[in-house]
Chain A
């Protein structure tokens, strides 16, 4: 169940400027999804690089 207050605040004007009392931890599921969103393409890119570098070691 998503945190309703969290979603509601997201829609408020000027959300990127928070007040002291508004600082609270984001729901864990959001954090996990956010990290997955950026790390999947990054890992795919790293895998491609490692794959392409194999001939270097074969040549050596």
Chain B
């Protein structure tokens, strides 16, 4: 019952990736069919998503230790209240046409729900599946990738239903989506349980010779911050997400400009959807594979193969057919998702299970940083290239090589990851005393 509970949480909060569906209707609340002068600008609306992602990172970092103290059920309940509450408050903001209320609702309140909800089921799953932590966390985090696949068509269907000649129907859509997501989140809340101390699945015998990087001890969240391993993983997550998020945001114009006259806007939208599917599959596939071949090896594949793929993309973009280009990007996106899903198991290997949720929460600040770095890198480098007279189709070449360079940094950091020094570890007896 625990994996579906975790999946329910992540499927709900993953809706954030589909928020752009609301951009156009939010910019036509007064004009309805076209944007009126008093309507919100797209740049103003864009801040809603950005605020939500910043608060995701901040709340995951701040509330991680609280989550470890109160348990996943209370934390998930708070996440459910915040995330769905964010929709309700935003519905009021749209109704009153006050953007600050929407920022406060979906951005701040929803963002806090996202952060707490994201880390809540992860440490619980690691404790229930000590034999396959990668697969278990991959399954949940896969839901975050799948959330947009549900959120986007659901929002489109509701907007169609509620729109009328006098309203775009955003306010009503927010209310219904808030109620739907609250129900899905509450399913996770009532179903989740944490196992007793030292619980092991039937027939599971821990290896007498665990891998070099797999500890049987524990490191608390504050001490983890003082280790080089934490910061190496921070950089690893940051560069992997920067590279992925940068091209994900530009995927639609990129394929249209590289295959001008071949790929239509409609086909490009299909390409973006397909990348989400690769992202989702990668989260489960790569993290499950990491249980077999080890976390360090799987990250070496992400960075080594990723580097090669980014370097190949400009050549694939010069071919007559887009199929190899799509497959190449699909592999890149699968490893982008895999990087998210494998990191909790990597943390568990290095720091133990004691406060892995809190450590994971603090590591997610790398995501917030990458969320700003990635699009900025891609957009600005492209702009500089075009201003310098480079052809639009060729303008992405330098960007791809820079992304490959970022992955090289990740490869080196991953190589430098060693086991945590014994002086940082809490031994099992002390941990039971509540230290």
Contacts and interface: CB of A to CB of B under 8 A. Distances in A.
B271 A53 contact: yes
B4 A38 contact: yes
A16 B326 contact: no
B270 interface: yes
**Binding site secondary structure of chain A:** helix
Nearest to A45: B149
A13 to B, nearest CB: 11
A54 interface: yes
Interface residues of A, number: 33
A18 B153 CA distance: 39
Given A34-B5, A35-B4, A42-B146, A17 B71 contact: yes
Given A55-B266, A56-B271, A48 B149 contact: yes
Given A16-B71, A56-B270, A56-B322, A34 B1 contact: yes
Interface string B258-272: 000011101111110
A46 B149 CA distance: 6
Interface in A8-51: 10, 15-20, 22-23, 26, 30-31, 34-35, 37-38, 41-42, 44-46, 48-50
Nearest to B70: A16
Interface string B123-159: 0000000000000000000010010111011000000
Contact of B150 (A26, A45, A53, A55): A45
A60 B269 CA distance: 14
Interface stretch (B100-108, B193-201, B411-419): B193-201
Contact of A18 (B11, B148, B196, B274): B196
- Size bracket of the B interface: 35 or more
A37 B8 contact: yes
A50 B270 CA distance: 8
Which one of A44, A46, A56 has the greatest number of beta carbons of chain B within 10 Å? Answer: A56
A42 B1 contact: no
A1 interface: no
Contacts of B355: none
A42 B193 contact: no
Given A45-B149, A53-B271, 19 more contacts: A16-B71, A16-B72, A16-B73, A16-B194, A17-B193, A18-B193, A20-B196, A34-B191, A41-B150, A45-B153, A46-B277, A49-B149, A49-B274, A53-B270, A55-B270, A56-B270, A56-B271, A56-B326, A60-B322
